[in-house]
């Protein structure tokens, strides 16, 4: 589904920032990317989303070169939730979610009755229906994260990319997001970048470890739990109980 060959990217000429020789991401799985700050996680996600260019090598989506995919087509394949959401207009929450499916709107910007049903269902499922008439600028960071998730799911597509989806989220809504990600597994590929190692290892089929722009480990949680010290250059403490991994700081 997503295949990468000899990918190289630099922010500064002559200074390689990201280098991935080969990577294959398959359909309908949960993938997490872990690594230190500045390891290339966000850059990697932005490259897949075609938010930055100028790279060497190939990125294929469903067998098609990313360079040949137009933005309107890409919107029907990938939905992306960035770390920070910058809005130039103070949309009502309902409209912000609605425009996630702009590529399928008619000439007058209208959606079908079923589309509106889908929005209401998602808002109820994410427990944000009370925000429907609020404007986006009035929301907290955590509330906006949930609204963005609703929009991204409503947008459709086979790939959902989430950059730090658990930051600024309270415990109850973090649990809700995890539940929804797990429910999406059968219909979408979910690609997550996060510093929350517990969530990443416990919900992911595959964990990808990045270090200084290179993949230094890839596999399931049973393999990757023993690679974390090498990825982060520090002692990683964890306990295992009933198939789950729990991390703690040894201080």
Mean pLDDT computed over 22-39: 96
**CA 28 – CA 194 distance, rounded (Å):** 19
DSSP annotation string for 212-234: TTEEEEEE-HHHHTTTHHHHHTS
pLDDT at 212: 96
122 pLDDT exceeds 70? yes
70 pLDDT exceeds 90? yes
Sign of CA dihedral 44, 59, 152, 29: negative
pLDDT at 250: 64
Q: Among 7-11, 87-91, 101-105, 113-117, whose mean pLDDT is lowest?
A: 101-105
What the block records as the tokens of 250 is: 């040894």
Round the CA-based radius of gyration of the chain to a whole number and report it. 19
pLDDT at 172: 86
Q: How far is CA 138 from the centre of its chain?
A: 24
pLDDT digits (tens, 9 = 90+) for 78-109: 999 998 888 889 999 999 999 898 777 776 67
pLDDT at 142: 86
Banded model confidence at residue 188, pLDDT cuts 50, 70, 90: very high
Domains delineated in the chain: 1-21+40-69 (no CATH), 70-195 (3.40.50.300)
pLDDT digits (tens, 9 = 90+) for 231-251: 999 999 999 999 899 998 865
pLDDT digits (tens, 9 = 90+) for 166-178: 887 888 889 989 9
Task: In the chain, count H helices and then E strands.
Answer: 9, 12
Distances (CA, A) of 215 to 7, 41, 89: 12, 10, 38
The chain-wide mean pLDDT, for the chain, equals 93
């Amino acid at each position: 589904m997503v295949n990468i060959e000899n990918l190289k990217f630099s922010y500064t000429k002559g200074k390689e920032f990201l280098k991935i020789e080969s990577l294959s991401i398959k359909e309908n799985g949960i993938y997490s990317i872990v690594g230190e700050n500045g390891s290339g996680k966000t850059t990697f996600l932005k490259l897949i989303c075609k938010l930055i260019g100028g790279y060497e090598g190939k990125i294929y989506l469903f067998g098609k070169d990313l360079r040949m995919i137009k933005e309107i087509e890409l919107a029907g394949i990938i939905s992306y939730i960035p770390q920070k959401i910058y809005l130039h207009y103070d949309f009502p929450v309902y409209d912000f979610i609605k425009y996630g499916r702009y590529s399928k709107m008619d000439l007058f910007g209208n959606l079908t009755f079923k589309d509106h049903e889908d929005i209401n269902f998602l808002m109820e499922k994410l427990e944000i229906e009370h925000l429907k008439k609020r404007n986006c600028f009035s929301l907290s960071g955590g509330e906006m994260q949930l609204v963005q998730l609703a929009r991204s799911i409503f947008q459709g597509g086979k790939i959902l990319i989430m950059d730090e989806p658990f930051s600024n989220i309270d415990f109850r809504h973090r649990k809700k997001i995890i539940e929804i990600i797990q429910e999406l597994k059968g219909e979408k590929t979910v690609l997550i970048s996060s510093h929350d190692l517990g969530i990443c290892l416990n919900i992911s089929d595959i964990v990808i470890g990045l270090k200084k722009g290179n993949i230094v480990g890839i596999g399931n949680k049973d393999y990757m739990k023993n690679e974390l010290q090498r990825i982060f250059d520090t002692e990683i403490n964890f306990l295992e109980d009933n198939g789950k991994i729990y991390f703690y700081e040894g201080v």
